[in-house]
Structure 1
């Protein structure tokens, strides 16, 4: 682990080269793509020569050589990688020609397979290469990333560790530039709890042989939740065929996610972006067995408004038939979207984490209330778990895990379970942004026991009907009290406007006296004053 942390620190320190040429909040625009590039370079090293041999052997014989290059690019165990590069250059040979390093690096990038080129296009890497070359930093950066301390070969850094490196770099850069790291990934302890909540009730079914399960995250960030789900299922049954799907809006984070998935052997074409899930659903006709997500909190959906309203007009033929929340928070739109992706004739389960807004915002008859009413009436809500505060990197507020399904166990039908897990945490020795607390293995175990036992001091069970109510406006005639008393007359002098009735701004004495006299009459006080 110390070696693993050393790599993170070393890569982080590479940003020192960028000072002056880049602003602090721009460092990740260079360091992240070069880290991804170095990982691809390391992964491809085992079959580099075979790819070049295959290309030279069959060059000119086939118009499209992609299938040959894909077949030639393999890992150390002989498994196809799903991507390739047929340039003669790598990080080592690039350093042998400092005078032409910019042109050679561009040549190297252009010889990747199209799925990898899409990743670097979303990093805008070529523009940064030109900027680095102009500042005479390109050679120095490549040299830094070529040092032994940044050996990112799979034999040295596992796929799981590489994913953690990406997440930690994003968190550190976001913390440095005051950006929202939590928009892109969720702490591993929270992900573990959410993952187990999804699968805990389906454990028996997941032990069947030769089954295929589709898992989806509509705001997938770096893909950590998807990977956690797959690892958990395979730990129960290695024969299950898990297919991961995700969509991400942010360009850089989409690129990181796709790169990570590609290097893990996943179907990278199932990672869509960079587009908004709310306005541009990339899996329009797909339904999924399991869904897990941490959609952004309190984020306006103004940019998606036109498409969302158009979809809402379709009613329940679209994704937002239950209603639309206020424009400043789209979390309930994500909940509706995920519920629309449940399978029609098979069981689907969802774990999604939100802040308190989807639970408490909106009076009866509002869009938020109508959405909650629809979810309750359709018996989608299985449980809601209240978590401790200060669990996330970008916010210290309390959060809630919603467990949703279209097929509850018999004992849960018509009921909603509320679990108070706000006291289940341990203080961290050193805070990471707003994250000052974390869930231990024992905390997660206790929360799952509360969920499974369906009864404890930290659990309350309600019938769906308990949450239903109707707001009635009771109108009555306006009642005014008219009564003239000395006390009420005295209070009139406290009102500035009433006092000024007997004042005049006229300069002519006669006109001034006349205006003041008229004012006193309007106050109906002539007899008392004069």
Structure 2
């Protein structure tokens, strides 16, 4: 049974809840019971051995926990003789027995159900006489790992969360990221690390997600590494704010034999759950356009008190969008280059690329990552890729262990055209990247090459064949007689300072009624022309240009009395991504347009005449 069919089957439980629960409340019942049944099935085979071991070690006065974990082969256990199927045998006492069953789980597992507020849920189901019926429904679902593997189970959780989020008008994208986006990010994260990917190398690495959601990014990264190098060990860490997502992530980590203590709960920005740790790899998809007013006091206090010794030294973005705070948080978690360095990928919307002028918090953050040569690449994704938004999104790859050829350079890859239409839309998600699309972007990044998509048109303007992706070493196709080639850049490489500029303030003199400049009378301004604020202007001068040469060329020919107020000059950085991939399309000639209009007008007149007959 695939994950969509399975989630549809689980969704049928909603039929029992209809009337006693609102649609927006279905998830509060279905999600914890799905987790419970999954854990129930995982422990089924070792149940008898665990009970026997628990009895023996308890009688011997020993701590039974390490022995029970060895018997289960998992990082959790349950010491109750009950399971969901046996609970059905005593309908009158199912509430009390269900409590006892959940209480018999190991401590970390009990915390999962506390996050779900499971006991309140059970009380409400019991009062509405639904507890037995819901338990019976889930007891009949086979969620054993041999039937539903871990990857499929993760997809089931995501599908359920998406449905419940839509029904309650929540943002599903805050809980998880589309799988193909994660696969692309993981590819880019590992592609240059041959020592990690080479089979036989028993390397140990750490990976961290400060916005872990249901744990999808951590799971896919682990699967990718094990697929390429079974001897490698990837220890995962994360933090999640939403209790339900945290509970599912923790359950997923339990089943995959990861250390659940590595998944922290709470707000990453105000209460860092891994404050003293550095990591080899990091991934994050922070919420887009979400304000950080609730934690503003704590963040500003850290920024002002600790500066660059804290997480937010470079600057603070505007309160209306906190995504760049997560970028700086990840920067603070990078392992020093002398200790092996780090690489991380983060999904951001378009705002962090260009919002804020020179001297603003956003510009200062961009300035920090570019002047410290931390940005390896930025990949523009197709629109309509995420479940809760159709806006343009970008994957930033940052590293403090750049290869020699990448030093001082940033690669921009426009993958906005690399998509295929989904058979069925899921929320705002209408497009997906195929394996071939992901492979192409990965290759362009791995080869660190510029590339363009070349389309051949014949003399009649018709496309000939499929567009070809050409790198610098490829030969372009020959255009047919009378035809043309359309070249669209896909990958471009820039120097870091290509994105920098100096904002200069251009002043012009204030003049009196006679048209003479007004001079200052006191202090430093004595005898100097006073500026007219109404005529004040600013110019952005590229960092690579000499400011005085630019001023003489671009300003003085139009305003001979202008001067630069040096004290107001500021350095800024922006990354005008779309501008670097814009291709000018010359408009059609007026004669052609006029002829088409005449033809359309004539056609309309003929149809009107036919109607009049």
Q: Which residue of 2 aligns with 1:263?
A: 255
* Alignment partner of 1:174 out of 165, 173, 176: 165
Offset, 1:404 = 0.4
Offset, 1:206 = 3.4
Please say if residues 208 and 218 of structure 2, whose CA atoms lie closer than 8 Å, have aligned partners that are also in contact.
yes
Structure with greater proportional helix content: 1
Q: Which residue of 2 aligns with 1:518?
A: none
Matches within 5 A, 1:47-62: 47-62=46-61
Q: Which residue of 2 aligns with 1:456?
A: 451
Please state if 1:418 is matched with 2:412. Answer: yes
Please state if 1:154 is matched with 2:153. Answer: no
CA distances 1:341-379 after superposition (whole Å, capped 9, x unpaired): 111121211111110111111111101100100110000
CA distances 1:233-273 after superposition (whole Å, capped 9, x unpaired): 11221111110111000001000000011011111111111
Unaligned runs of 5+ in 1: 75-79, 483-530
Secondary structure at the aligned position of 2:194 is classed as: coil
* Alignment partner of 1:469 out of 501, 511, 514: 501
Offset, 1:478 = 4.7
2: CA distance between counterparts of 1:90 and 1:165? 22
Secondary structure at the aligned position of 1:230 is classed as: helix
1: CA distance between counterparts of 2:51 and 2:29? 28
Secondary structure at the aligned position of 2:224 is classed as: helix
1: CA distance between counterparts of 2:512 and 2:18? 72
CA distances 1:324-354 after superposition (whole Å, capped 9, x unpaired): 1111111111111111111112121111111
CA distances 1:466-503 after superposition (whole Å, capped 9, x unpaired): 11112122233456989xxxxxxxxxxxxxxxxxxxxx
* Alignment partner of 1:136 out of 118, 129, 137: 129
Secondary structure at the aligned position of 1:465 is classed as: helix
Please state if 1:280 is matched with 2:312. Answer: no
Secondary structure at the aligned position of 1:83 is classed as: coil
* Alignment partner of 1:374 out of 368, 372, 377: 368
Secondary structure at the aligned position of 2:503 is classed as: coil
Q: Figure out how many residues of one structure are paired with residues of the other and give that number.
A: 473
* Alignment partner of 1:115 out of 105, 108, 113: 108
Offset, 1:63 = 6.1
Unaligned runs of 5+ in 2: 453-489, 515-613
* Alignment partner of 1:81 out of 64, 74, 83: 74
2: CA distance between counterparts of 1:125 and 1:151? 21
Matches within 5 A, 1:3-14: 3-14=2-13
Say what the alpha-carbon RMSD is for the aligned residues. 1.6
Q: Which residue of 2 aligns with 1:515?
A: none
TM-score normalised per structure 1: 0.87
2: CA distance between counterparts of 1:226 and 1:162? 14
Deviates more, 1:60-69 or 1:21-30: 60-69
Q: Which residue of 1 aligns with 2:67?
A: 68
Matches within 5 A, 1:330-409: 330-344=322-336, 345=338, 346-409=340-403
CA distances 1:407-441 after superposition (whole Å, capped 9, x unpaired): 21111110111111111101112111111110011
2: CA distance between counterparts of 1:171 and 1:9? 12
Please state if 1:15 is matched with 2:8. Answer: no
Deviates more, 1:379-388 or 1:465-474: 465-474
1: CA distance between counterparts of 2:195 and 2:69? 38
Please say if residues 4 and 159 of structure 2, whose CA atoms lie closer than 8 Å, have aligned partners that are also in contact.
no
Deviates more, 1:342-351 or 1:59-68: 59-68
Q: Which residue of 1 aligns with 2:176?
A: 185
2: CA distance between counterparts of 1:6 and 1:461? 45
TM-score normalised per structure 2: 0.75
* Alignment partner of 1:201 out of 181, 192, 197: 192
Q: Which residue of 2 aligns with 1:30?
A: 29
Offset, 1:205 = 4.6
Q: In 2 relative to 1, CA 350–3 (structure 1 residues): closer, same or farther, beyond 3 Å?
A: closer
